[in-house]
Amino acid sequence: MGSAVVKAVNVNPEGGVPKYPVDSAFLRKSGVEGDRQNDMKHHGGPNRAVCLFSSEVIEDLRAEGHPIETGSVGENLTISGLDWNLIRLGSQLNVGDALIEITGSAPPCRTIKNSFNEGDYSRISQKKNPGWSRWYARVLTEASVCPEDKVSVLNG
């Protein structure tokens, strides 16, 4: 694969899904500026400050017939060109000038069911389908990110 880049930066100031593309957003230790979560028990906070997803996984899901779109499953950063199988708990990624650390997979829930055939949001469950999940990350170095920023995995 070529260089990995941010394909889209997505937020929803009202909370929930879908998240909408923006020109840039500041990644803070407390979360993505301009984004809001409606369910703080399961989303947000310093260990779930940023949600990441792969544009290639989205494309593969669309090829399976799912009506998924960039941002429709709540990811803040849609990443293109990254081998999604390299991502695991503890992986650190440079995203532009930001440094983030993967804290765990993002368990899917019914709020994203409209992105899947027959509402089967478990299609992106790490437990049921490893390698197809979104990931949560904490922010180690705060910075603004925008589409086309380079992404690199430092360790894993």
* Span 9-36, pLDDT tens digits: 999 999 889 999 999 999 999 999 999 8
Task: Tell me which H or E stretch contains 50.
Answer: strand 50-54
What is the residue range of 127's domain?
A: 4-155
How far is 68 from 37, CA to CA, in rounded Å? 20
Which two tokens mark 113? 């069911």
Block residue for tokens 């440079």:
94
**Is residue 1 pLDDT above 50, yes or no?**
no
Report yes or no: 74 and 51 within 8 Å, Cβ to Cβ: yes
pTM for the whole structure: 0.94
Instruction: Give the number of domains in the chain.
Output: 1
What value does the mean pLDDT of the chain take?
Answer: 93
CATH of the domain at 150: 2.40.33.20
pLDDT tens sequence across 125-150: 999 999 999 999 999 999 999 999 99
- The arithmetic mean of pLDDT across residues 36-41, rounded, is 68
